[in-house]
């Protein structure tokens, strides 16, 4: 069984559209994350949730809205997509939000905005 | 403001020991240093973590000097399958667990 799964794996869409990426973890972890990896492979955290509550919210345009219906799921909704949103988005989870816990990453969602 | 810096790329040959250093010159006592490995088209995968001195597991060692301004990931006897991008991550305990990734080091292992 996949520990952290994301859907879809690939997403191609046009500027101005609204899209969502879903993430699920079956590890029983309390904390989940969204990261953006740009074309230069730079990984940047966007959001972190602990037990469905937002604990990290980096400087991200408010077009990006995370939603955690339960602690096993963290979805990312993006409004009014722009060319610069093209990237690979990774979901991750960890046992708790303290720094000592390793993160388990999903396979990524490659978003291409045309 | 904490920042992490790593070499952009490194080359090595099979069987050699590889050391990748990450500079993080503004971290606090409780901040952890973690290293991740990423293969193409996959998510990063945890390798090792520590916050002082030396940590060793079955795949790598992590050396952290007393001043904690840098850390070195050591991969013993690399093989072709170790070709990947290696990321240093600093977790800032006193800044609400803020996570700072380095820009990644692309390691190429040649036969």
- Whether residue B2 lies within 8 A of chain A, CB to CB, comes out as no
CATH of the domain at A19: 2.60.40.10
pLDDT given at position B73:
97
Sign of the dihedral defined by the CA atoms of residues A92, B39, B55, B70, in that order: negative
Contact B24, B88 (CB under 8 A): yes
- Whether residue A107 lies within 8 A of chain B, CB to CB, comes out as yes
**pLDDT grade for B1, boundaries at 50, 70 and 90:** low
Whether residue A94 is predicted with pLDDT greater than 80 in this model: the reply is: yes
Region B66-93 average pLDDT:
92
Region B73-98 average pLDDT:
89
pLDDT in tens, A32-90: 999 999 988 899 999 999 888 888 778 789 999 999 999 999 999 999 999 999 999 99
- Whether residue B46 lies within 8 A of chain A, CB to CB, comes out as yes
Q: Which domains does chain B have, with CATH numbers?
A: 9-110 (2.60.40.10)
- Quick one: what percent of chain B has pLDDT higher than 90? 69
A102/chain B closest Cα distance in angstroms: 6
A99: left (phi over 0), alpha (psi -120 to 50) or beta: alpha
Whole-angstrom distance between the N-terminal and C-terminal Cα of chain A?
34
Whether residue B6 is predicted with pLDDT greater than 70 in this model: the reply is: yes
Q: Which of B44, B49, B68 to mutate to test binding with chain A, by most A CBs within 10 Å of its CB? A: B44
Whether residue B63 is predicted with pLDDT greater than 60 in this model: the reply is: yes
Contacts of B99 in chain A (CB under 8 A): 33, 45, 48, 56
Range of the domain at A54: 4-113
Whether residue A10 is predicted with pLDDT greater than 80 in this model: the reply is: yes
Region B34-55 average pLDDT:
93
Cβ neighbours of B21 (radius 10 Å): 15
Contact A10, A89 (CB under 8 A): no
**pLDDT grade for A100, boundaries at 50, 70 and 90:** confident
Whether residue A99 is predicted with pLDDT greater than 80 in this model: the reply is: no
A80/chain B closest Cα distance in angstroms: 26
């Amino acid at each position: 069984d996949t520990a952290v799964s994301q859907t879809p794996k690939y997403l191609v869409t046009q500027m101005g559209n609204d899209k969502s990426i879903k993430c699920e973890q079956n590890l029983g972890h309390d904390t989940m994350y969204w990261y953006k990896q740009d074309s230069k492979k730079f990984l940047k955290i966007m959001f972190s949730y602990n037990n469905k509550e937002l604990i990290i919210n980096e400087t991200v345009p408010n077009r990006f809205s995370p939603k955690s219906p339960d602690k096993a799921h963290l979805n990312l909704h993006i409004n009014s997509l722009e060319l610069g949103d093209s990237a690979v988005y990774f979901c991750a989870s960890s046992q708790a939000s303290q720094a000592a816990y390793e993160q388990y990453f999903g396979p990524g969602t490659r978003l291409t905005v045309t | 403001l904490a920042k992490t810096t790593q070499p952009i790329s490194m080359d090595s040959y099979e069987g050699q020991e590889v050391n990748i250093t990450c500079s993080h010159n503004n971290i606090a006592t409780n901040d952890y240093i973690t290293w991740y490995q990423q293969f193409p088209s996959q998510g990063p995968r945890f390798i090792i973590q520590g916050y002082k001195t030396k940590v060793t597991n079955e795949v790598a060692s992590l050396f952290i000097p007393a001043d904690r301004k840098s850390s070195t990931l050591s991969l013993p006897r690399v093989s072709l399958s170790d070709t990947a991008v290696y990321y240093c991550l600093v977790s800032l305990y006193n800044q609400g667990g803020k996570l700072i990734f380095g820009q990644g080091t692309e390691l190429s292992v040649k036969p």
